[in-house]
Amino acid sequence: MMMNNTIIEGHIYNMKTRGYTVFPKYLSKTMSEKLKKQLVADLAKYDPQQYDSERSVLDRHHLHDLMCRDISYAKLLEDERLQQILAPLLGEFWTMYAFTSSSAAPGSTNYGGRVHVDSPRWIEGYPTNIGVLWALDEFTVNNGGTKVLPGSHHADMIPTQEYFDENAVQVECPQGSMIVFDARVVHSTGFNATKQWRHALTLNACRSYMKQRMDWPQFIPAVISDELNLQARRIIGFDTRVPKSLEELFVPPEERLYKANQG
């Protein structure tokens, strides 16, 4: 079901002022549990040692290839509400920069626990990236959830850990909620002091003309991407591919890999 204009107008105001919006219970409990079950299984299969990389170890609770593993993750991109939420901020033809999980083990945090932003670019009044987080568990003070520094997207600097700790807000929300934030909002994963994992999925959305983290149309298996609707395929990047030969360049306009008038 589409969101009404009042909700969207409030969201846009939130994004322009404090830099984030919380949509409670965006996903049903059934869907949240289904995605969490799939994520737990995928986390169990991941072996960071196979990549012989320090980053692969740091990111062991941030899986980057989820959409290559199961179509249930990619199906989130078909939701029309996602377009309502992001198009006013990034333009109608925004795409996916990255899609990642964010899990915090009991008595721990994850690589997102550092004080950071999700975009290196700061252009006053012009967001280039927006973060989306689906909370697959309830977010509480005790399980870490996520912390944000309201209004920090208006500054071109990252504060000290001390300043962040004194001024950040702990976002608390029910299972299935969606947190949307300007990628220049300073934030961090909190510390999970409980005996249960805290799971979430994250999307980094960018403007249509920007290069994505991965070559998603090539990376995601066709058996998954072929089953998605036009909106999801556009978000993945199928409408912003570039030709790799003159033959692909000179095809009729309706067959071009990079669709016209996308910014």
Which residue do the tokens 């979430």 mark?
Answer: 200
pLDDT higher than threshold 80 for residue 58: no
Can you give the pLDDT at residue 144? 86
Whether pTM > 0.85 for this model: the answer is yes
Q: How confident is the model at residue 113 (pLDDT cuts 50, 70, 90)?
A: confident
| Torsion region of 242: left, alpha or beta (phi above 0 gives left; psi -120 to 50 gives alpha) | beta
Q: What percent of the chain has pLDDT over 70?
A: 100
pLDDT tens digits along 175-211: 999 999 999 999 999 999 999 999 999 999 999 999 9
Can you give the pLDDT at residue 57? 82
Can you give the pLDDT at residue 222? 98
pLDDT tens digits along 205-215: 999 999 999 99
pLDDT higher than threshold 80 for residue 263: no
- Cα distance between residue 180 and residue 84, in whole Å: 12
Q: How confident is the model at residue 115 (pLDDT cuts 50, 70, 90)?
A: very high
Can you give the pLDDT at residue 1? 79
Using DSSP bridges, classify how beta strands 146-148 and 95-104 pair: parallel, antiparallel or unpaired: unpaired
Average pLDDT on 31-59 reads 90
5-17 vs 80-90: helix axis angle to the nearest 10?
Answer: 40
Quick one: tokens of 118?
A: 């999700």
- Cα distance between residue 56 and residue 52, in whole Å: 7
pLDDT higher than threshold 80 for residue 105: yes
Task: List the chain domain ranges.
Answer: 5-255
Q: How confident is the model at residue 109 (pLDDT cuts 50, 70, 90)?
A: confident
- Cα distance between residue 254 and residue 86, in whole Å: 26
Please state, as a whole number, how many other Cβ atoms lie within 10 Å of the Cβ of residue 66. Answer: 21
Superfamily of domain 5-255: q2cbj1_9rhob like domain (2.60.120.620)
Average pLDDT on 40-47 reads 93
pLDDT higher than threshold 90 for residue 165: yes
Lowest mean pLDDT among 18-22, 128-132, 239-243: 239-243
Q: How confident is the model at residue 6 (pLDDT cuts 50, 70, 90)?
A: very high
